[in-house]
Chain A
Amino acid sequence: MTASSVAKTSQFGTRTLQFALVGNPNTGKSTLFNALVGGKAHTGNFPGVTVEKKTGQLQHAGQTVQLIDLPGTYSLSPRSLDELLTVDVLLGRQPEIGQIDGIICIANAVNLERQLYLFSQLAECGLPLVLVLNMWDTAQARELKIDLEALRSKLGVPVIATEAHRGRGVEGVKDAILQAAAAGVAPAYGVEFPGDFQQACRDVSAFVTENLRADAAYPEFLCARLILDVDGAAEARLAPQVPDLKQRLQDVRAALRQVGHELPALESQQRYAWCRQLASAVVQSPTVRKRSWTDRLDAVLTHRLWGLLICTGLMFLVFQALFSWAEPLMGYCETGQEWVSGVVTASMSPGSLRSLLTDGVIAGVGGVLIFLPQIMLLFLFIAILEDSGYMARAAYMVDRLLSVFGLNGKSFLPLMSSFACAVPGIMATRVIEDRKDRMVTILIAPLMSCSARLPVYLLLIAAFVPQQHVLGGFLSVQGMVLFGMSALGAVVAIPVAWLFRKTLFRGAPSSFVMELPDYKIPSLKLVLLRSYRCGKTFVLRAGTLIFATTIVVWAAAYFPGDHTLIHELDAQIEALADETSAAEEVSKLQSERNEISGKLISESVLGQAGRAVEPVVKPLGWDWKIGMGVLASFPAREVVIATLGTIYSLGGDQHEESESLQDAMRDSKWPDGTPVYNLPVALSLMVFFALCAQCASTLVIMKRETNSWRWPALCFIYMTGLAYVGSLLTYQVSRWIMT
């Protein structure tokens, strides 16, 4: 790269260049993207499709470049409308992006030949290209000698070797972007398709252009796709506008077969012949494939016995760690919450506003925020497992099991992600090609124990499950209950998926094709970034949705009712609080206060509604407060903690020395004086939350991904039914066992 070629870029003036980043999965694409834009990415969705739109900007040599990160793909042959979007962006047919200036193709240097397949398709888009060979260090370690200079001169495009995880070569990529944009020419060296085929593409283009009455010729690249992809997405999109398209394409294909071209094999054969020719000219590899680290690890990690044991053990360890590692961190959060609450209480006089702040906002939102450490830890574990390459092995191992219930191994990642949150989980089902498999996965994804349930479990377990250790102190009973609750949804999902597959989504067994990438040390930066982003989303949710619900619940529990007496009592208690001699009087005032506040809350809007639902929830062992907490948590499961926090805080159930919700729950009593909560009630509540669909975001995303309200409605009904029955059984059976 010479300075003069960079200097040429002044021709762009102040215009922002647009480059798309395309590559196979497992090439380190996200790492390179982050390295190029410095971690500042904007994510959203393309309108009308379920493809994530990830963009970021970089500045180099005075030029601004907008990068568009497109989903990882092995080929540009679009099977779905979503995949068609990638092609649209590259061809400048996506209105939000407009015409792009070039493409960065990232390839894994370790298997260049396979990766050149996508490159050969990109080369036909007619845009300037940059080829990035990532994981250069691994290729070196494998004794692969790649002649970059030869590759450059053959392809006629900039070729850059990078180690994106170390940031090596990233500046070179930036130079190459400007160089390619300045040159402004597409690579001339590509796959030569037979003349008959090229002619057929031109004919189809003329035919479509005429039928569309368009000014510009229909891109030949799309015409090649129309011919090669039988019933593909390009055809599906065009068919309504061009009535005779299907027949015309059938004729074209038949004619090509007549002259001896095997369709659709023609494409892969031609392309791979080209890839092989090119790769053999520029890559020197050791003749015998050496047993790599990945081979050695796979021998153990996918072993018939050890593989399964390790997989189960790993999952178990994650949940054990969640409980024991996050506890000290949660302690800090709790202390912080109590401190804030104390400051507010001390600086304001008793009144409605103080009640809203301390009983509503701090008790509610704070109660949810405490669980931030756990949630970030879970996302951290998932990110590590995924980035290291282990997740693909897990999918490979469980495919057979999942196929029994009509799912496939690719359902594993969406389902595993759903253990963190069903929203990204449902979005991750986009990788499942089979529609039926995808629908069933979407419908059962919310059964996986998401992080929003975690706070509910953690709270109830910490308060009502004995803190014992078994097996020589290695396993905590609390950890085991947590594991059990987290596993419950997944276990229930098995018959549910099977049932769906036998009724709504009947059909032949689907396919499973998956690459098992090389193992690698997870990139610390990427893993932390993902964990941070998920944590941020959680905090934002706590700050908006949960915040709003908390205020509504507070208001419903506070009004109507005359709180003047309570505020007077509060003022008296606080005035006496510092005098040790008045301890007796304080406790008398306190109990008086609690009695009044209990009466007020039961007469409030919330209390009245609660008593109306009490007959329904009583068989589950719940009192009206729990019932209302559950009802009010419709927007999001974790809201129940905020709601309960507010209800108990307002209801004066809590002990005067502690602000914690745990203690408030332990002290909560039925009118006859027996404690509301015991182990059966706690279990029944946890089982309800394990199985219910109390999450508006999940239902909304489900609507978006399935394009119909029918599926979220079905999901809500079946999950609520399951939750009620499951909870009822749990309460009745565990009460019977315990007495």
Chain B
Amino acid sequence: MATVALSLDQLECGRRARVVSMDERDSTSVRLMEMGITPGEVVESLGFAPFGDPLAIHVRGSRLALRSHQARKIQVELEECELRSSV
């Protein structure tokens, strides 16, 4: 399956992607994992706040806000269906 790797802060608003990996040593990442952002999970970007940060995502039925410097530590991949629709 063709995939494109990027970090969560690069995900465009309205797009869905699968979490590949995250920086586990960071305590905030551990908190994010507890709140449902775990490797293998699909997240949807809901865009950025009015001043350009933080960003909001939809994951496991809830909306979470996090700052982009944290999102940068989360690697995601666009899935094939998403790739096709973006062309």
Report A's interface with B, CB cutoff 8 A: 74-75, 77, 79, 110-114, 117, 262-265, 268-269, 272, 289, 294, 298, 302-305, 307-308, 396-397, 399-401, 403, 409, 433, 509, 511-517
What is the CA–CA distance of A114 and B44 in the complex, to the nearest angstrom?
Answer: 16
What is the predominant secondary structure among interface residues of chain B facing chain A?
A: mixed
A639 to B1, CA, bound (A): 71
Alpha-carbon gap, A396 to B54, bound state (A): 7
In the A-B complex, the 7 residue pairs with the smallest Cβ-Cβ separation, listed nearest first, are A111-B61, A400-B51, A268-B33, A516-B63, A511-B28, A114-B60, A75-B34
CB of B45 within 8 A of chain A?
no
Measured between beta carbons, the chain A residues less than 8 angstroms from B30 are 77, 264-265, 268
Residue of B nearest to A144 (CB): B61
Alpha-carbon separation in the docked complex, A351 to B50 (Å)? 65
B66 within 8 Å of A (CB atoms)? yes
The verdict on B78 contacting chain A, using a C-beta distance below 8 Å, is no
Chain B min CB distance to A239 (Å)? 18
With A113-B61, A264-B30, A268-B33 known to touch, is A400 a contact of B52 (CB < 8 Å)? yes
Closest to A111 in B: B61
How far is the CB of A297 from the nearest CB of chain B, in Å? 12
CB distance from A145 to the nearest CB of B (A): 14
A309 to B35, CA, bound (A): 31
> How far, in whole Å, are A74 and B33 apart by their CA atoms in the complex?
11
Q: Are B65 and A399 in touch, CB under 8 angstroms?
A: yes
A403 neighbours in B (Cβ, 8 Å)? 53, 67
Question: Quick one: closest A residue to B59, CB to CB?
Answer: A114
Contact with A along B20-58 (1 / 0, CB 8 A): 000010011011111110110100101001111110101
The CA-CA distance from A308 to B52 in the complex, in Å, is 13
Whether A409 contacts B36 by the Cβ 8 Å rule is no
- Number of B residues with CB within 8 Å of any CB on chain A: 33
Extra inter-chain contacts (10) besides given A302-B50, A400-B50, A515-B65, CB under 8 Å: A114-B36, A262-B24, A268-B38, A303-B50, A305-B50, A308-B50, A396-B65, A399-B54, A400-B54, A509-B69
- Is B6's beta carbon under 8 Å from chain A? no
**Contact B64 A396, beta carbon cutoff 8 Å:** no
Judge whether B62 is part of the interface by a CB distance below 8 angstroms.
Answer: yes
Tell which of A117, A262, A263, A307 has the most Cβ of chain B within 10 Å.
A117
Distance in Å: Cβ of A446 to nearest Cβ of chain B: 26
Q: For the complex formed, measure the closest distance between the CB of B25 and the CB atoms of chain A, giving whole angstroms.
A: 8
Partner of B24, one of A265, A294, A509, A511: A265
Q: Which one of A112, A400, A513 lies within 8 Å of B31 (CB-CB)? A: A513
Contacts A/B (CB < 8 Å), 5 sampled: A268-B38, A272-B38, A272-B60, A511-B31, A514-B65
The reply to whether B28 and A513 contact each other, CB–CB distance below 8 Å, is yes
Distance between A600 CB and nearest chain B CB, rounded to angstroms: 60
Which residue on B lies nearest to A396, using beta carbons? B65
CB distance from B56 to the nearest CB of A (A): 6
Q: Give the nearest-CB partner of B28 in chain A.
A: A511
Tell me the bound Cα distance from A263 to B33 in angstroms: 12
Complex interface residues of chain B between 57 and 83 (CB less than 8 A to chain A): 58, 60-67, 69-70
| B51 contacts across to A, CB distance below 8 A | 397, 400-401
Contacting pair A515 B63 (CB below 8 A): yes
The answer to whether B65 touches A516, judged by C-beta atoms less than 8 angstroms apart, is yes
The chain A residue with its CB closest to the CB of B70 is: A511
Task: Choose among B38, B50, B60 the residue that contacts A304 (Cβ–Cβ < 8 A).
Answer: B50
B50 A513 Cβ-Cβ under 8 A: no
Docked pose: A409 CA to B69 CA in angstroms: 15
| Residues of A contacting B24 in the complex (Cβ-Cβ under 8 angstroms) | 262-265
| With A265-B33, A269-B38: A515-B62 Cβ-Cβ less than 8 Å | yes
In contact, A74 and B34 (Cβ under 8 angstroms) = yes
Does A396 contact B38, Cβ atoms closer than 8 Å?
A: no
Q: How far apart are the CA atoms of A637 and B23 in the complex, in Å?
A: 49
Cross-chain contact of B53 among A112, A113, A400 (Cβ < 8 A): A400
Contact B50–A307 (Cβ < 8 Å): yes
B79 to chain A, nearest CB (A): 15
A278 to B15, CA, bound (A): 27
- Cβ-closest chain A residue relative to B46: A298
Asked if B60 and A512 make an inter-chain contact with CB atoms under 8 angstroms apart, the answer reads no
Chain B CB within 10 A, most for which of A289, A305, A514: A514
What residues of chain A lie closer than 8 Å to B28, measured between beta carbons? Answer: 511, 513
Chain A positions within 8 Å of B49 at CB level: 302, 396-397, 399-400
